[in-house]
Structure 1
Amino acid sequence: MRTLKGPAIFLAQFMGDEVPFDNLAHLAGWAAGLGFKGIQVPCDARLIDLEQAATSDAYCDDLRETVDHAGVAITELSTHLQGQLVAVHPAYDALFDGFAPPHARGDAASRTQWAFGQLKLAAKASQRLGLTAHVTFSGALAWPYLYPWPQRPAGLIETAFDELARRWTPILDAFDAAGVDVCYELHPGEDLHDGVTFERFLDAVRQHARANILYDPSHFVLQQLDYLAFIDIYHARIKAFHVKDAEFRPSGKQGVYGGYSGWVERAGRFRSLGDGQIDFRAIFSKMAQYDFPGWAVLEWECALKHPHDGAREGAEFIREHIIRVADQAFDDFAASGVDSAQIRRVLGI
C-alpha cells in the first residue's frame, strides 16, 4: 500500500491580478507558506505557456525549478475549461464562448478544434513535466436532456455519447502516447457526471485505458449518490482526487434541483473542508485500502467562508486525514510459524 501524497491545492480559484496570486512563482510560494506540498495548475496563460511546455524541455525545467524553489511540486495540469469546449450543446454556446480565445468565439467548429489542440498540447506538456495524470471536464451534448421530459426520442442519448467518444478518442490516444491518464471530473453540467454516465462513455470509447476519474465527493453529495460505494466500484479508474466538502439539506420547498436559487440559498451547496457533511475519514481510509497512487488536492469552493481561510484550514485538514499506511500486518506478532507441511496435516489432507 502507498501513503497518499499531499496536501496539495488546485490554483484555479485563487488566480488574480494582485501579488501573490498573479503568477505561478508567487502562487507556489503562497501555497507552500500555508503548508501545501503540491499545486494543481490550470492551463491558463497567466500560469503556464502550454505550447512551450508541450515543445520545450528547457521551459519545463524552468517551471520545475520555479515550483521546487518554492517548496512544492506540480501534481497535475488542468484543462477543465478547454475540456468543456470539446463538446458544447448549442443551448450553451453563448455562455461557454468566453472560455475560448477571441479568434474562436462565435464559431462552434473553430472553438472545438482549438479545444482539441489544447488537450493534445496538455498531453505533451504533462509528459515533459513528468506527470502521470491530467484533470479535465468531458463537455456535454446530452445535458439539456437530463430529465426525460419532453420524452427523449429513441437513440438521442446513444448518439450523443457516440459523438462524445468520437471527439475524445483521438485525445485519449494522444495521452496514451504520452503515458498520461485523463481524469474526468464527474460533475453536473457534464455528460460524465456519475457512474452510469462514466460507464456509458467507457463503452463508447471501448474501455480506453486512459479514460479515468477525478474523484470529487462534493458533486456526489449534491446528487445524493453514495460517494463511498462509488470508490468500491470504480477505484481502479480513480487516478486523481479533489478534496472538497458539501452539504445537502432539503426542505419542504426544494431538493436536488435547487429551485434556481443562488449557492447560499440552495439545499445542496459546497462548503470549506470540515464545514460540510462528507465523511472524509472514511474516504481517506478507502483511498489507502485501494492503494490510490496520487495526490489529495484541495479544491476550495464555499458559499460562505473566505477563500484564504478555507485554503489555510484545508492544508491542515488534509494533512490530518492522510493515513500513513502500515508496512506490516498488525497481527504479525502472533504469526504461528506453521509451514506448508504442517498446514496440510492441520487440514487432514
Structure 2
Amino acid sequence: MKTIKGPAVFLAQFVDNKAPFNTLDGMCKWAAGLGYKGIQIPTPETFLIDLDKAGSADESEGQDYCDELKAKVGSYGLEITELSTHLQGQLVAVHPAYDVMFDNFAPDKYKNNPKARTEWAVDQVKKAAIASRRLGLKAHATFSGSLLWHTAHPWPQRPPGLVEMGFEELAKRWKPILDVYDENDVDVCYEIHPGEDLHDGDTFERFLKATNNHKRVNILYDPSHFVLQQLDYITYIDHYHEFIKAFHVKDSEFNPTGKKGAFGGFNDWRDRAGRYRSLGDGQVDFKTIFSKLTQYGCDVWAVMEWECCIKSPEQGAREGAPFIQSHIIEATEKAFDDFAGAEINDDKLKKILGLK
C-alpha cells in the first residue's frame, strides 16, 4: 500500500488577468496559503511555464530554466505534481466538425489551419515530456483528442470498421509522442472524459491495444466524469488501478428527471441532470475511492480540480485542501492483529492442523 500525496490543486480554472491569478508567484502564494502542497500546471499559460524554454533542444538551457522554475515553486513550500497539456492533447486529434470551436485553444497563427495546428500541438506535447523529465516528474496529464466522439450515439448506424479505423489513426498520431515520453521516462495519463475518444474503460482498452500496449499509456482518474456517464467508478479502479498514475479530485451529481437525462437537453451546466460540483457537494464516494487507491498502492497526487456551476471558485478552493487532507489515508505498515501473533515453526503448524 502507498499513502496518496496531497492536497494539490490544478491551476487551470483559477487563471485570471487579475492578481494573484496572473503570475506564478501569485498563484503559488495563494495555493500555499490555502494549505495545498502541490500544483498541477497548465502549460498553455506561458506565465506559469514556457514550454519552448522548458523543452528546449539545448539541454543545458532547458535544465537551467526548469531548475529555476522548480526552485521558485519550492520556495513557497509547494511541489509540481504534473504538467498538463489537456488543450494541446485535444488538438492532436480534432474532427473537422469541431475545428472552429477548437481553434480557440491554438495561437492565432495556427487558426484556420488544422494541419499546422496539429503539428504545433504535437510539438507542444513532446516538449512537455522533456520538461517533465527535467522537473523530475514521472507523470503527465493530457487529453486524447477525438475523431469518433460524434458517433458515440450514432444515427445512422456506424458502418463496420469505422471504430477500428478511428482508433488506429488515433494511435498512429500518439505513438511518436508516446515514444518521446518513454525516452524521458514519463507516463502519459489520459483523462478519461466525455468528448474524448478515451471516455470509459472499453475505449481505453481499444486505444491501449491499438498502440500495441505501449507502456506509457496510462490513466488520469477523475470519478466526476463517470457519474455523468452512470459508470461504476469504484469498480473501474479494480479494473484499471495498475494504469492510474494521476488523480483529479472532482465532484459531480446526476439527477435525472422526466425531461432530461445523460445528454442534458442542450441546457447550460446549472440546468443539466448531470453537473459538476465542488468537493463534498456532489454524489462521489471519495472515502471509498481513497481507500481503493491506497489499497492498490496507486502512487498519485490527489489534485483538486474545481468546476462547479453553483459555488464560487474562491470558496471551492478554500474548502478543497481540508477536504482532500481529511480523505488521505496514511497507509499502515503494521497488521492490526500483529499483537496476537507468536513465533511459529513447522511443528506448531502441524499441531494446529491436528497432524501431530
Q: What TM-score, normalized by structure 1, do the two folds share?
A: 0.98
Picking from 203, 216, 228, the partner of 2:209 is 203
Offset, 1:135: 0.1
Picking from 95, 117, 128, the partner of 1:122 is 128
Kindly provide the CA deviation profile for residues 44-92 of structure 1, in whole angstroms up to 9, marking residues without a partner as x.
2121110111231111111011111111110000000000000000000
Residue 238 of structure 2 corresponds to residue 232 of structure 1: yes
Match of 2:265 in 1: 259
CA contact (8 A) 1:221 1:247 kept: yes
- Segments of 4+ moved more than 6 angstroms: none
Picking from 167, 174, 177, the partner of 2:180 is 174
SS in 1 for 2:68: helix
CA contact (8 A) 1:29 1:71 kept: no
Match of 2:223 in 1: 217
The percent of aligned pairs where both chains have the same amino acid is 60
Within 1, Cα distance between the matches of 2:151 and 2:344?
62
Structure 1 segment 91-130 matched on structure 2, within 5 A: 91-130=97-136
Match of 2:59 in 1: none
- 5+ residue gaps, structure 2, are 57-61
SS in 2 for 1:330: coil
Match of 2:53 in 1: 52
Offset, 1:16: 0.9
- Which residue type is aligned with residue 17 of structure 1? N
Kindly provide the CA deviation profile for residues 203-239 of structure 1, in whole angstroms up to 9, marking residues without a partner as x.
1001111100000000000000000000010000000
Within 2, Cα distance between the matches of 1:24 and 1:262?
32
Within 2, Cα distance between the matches of 1:269 and 1:341?
62
Match of 1:305 in 2: 311
Offset, 1:345: 4.9
Picking from 64, 69, 72, the partner of 1:66 is 72
Aligned residues: 349
Match of 2:84 in 1: 78
CA contact (8 A) 2:2 2:295 kept: no
Structure 1 segment 7-46 matched on structure 2, within 5 A: 7-43=7-43, 44-46=45-47
Within 1, Cα distance between the matches of 2:293 and 2:345?
34
Match of 1:4 in 2: 4
Kindly provide the CA deviation profile for residues 151-209 of structure 1, in whole angstroms up to 9, marking residues without a partner as x.
11111111010000000011111001100000000111100000010000001001111
Within 2, Cα distance between the matches of 1:25 and 1:41?
13
Match of 2:299 in 1: 293
Kindly provide the CA deviation profile for residues 216-271 of structure 1, in whole angstroms up to 9, marking residues without a partner as x.
00000000000000001000000000000000000011110100010000000000
SS in 2 for 1:159: helix
Offset, 1:341: 4.2
- Which residue type is aligned with residue 52 of structure 1? K
Within 1, Cα distance between the matches of 2:115 and 2:347?
70
Within 1, Cα distance between the matches of 2:53 and 2:324?
33
Query: Which segment drifts farther, 54-63 or 221-230?
Result: 54-63
CA contact (8 A) 2:252 2:274 kept: yes
SS in 2 for 1:318: helix
Offset, 1:10: 0.0
CA contact (8 A) 1:38 1:74 kept: yes
Within 1, Cα distance between the matches of 2:288 and 2:345?
37
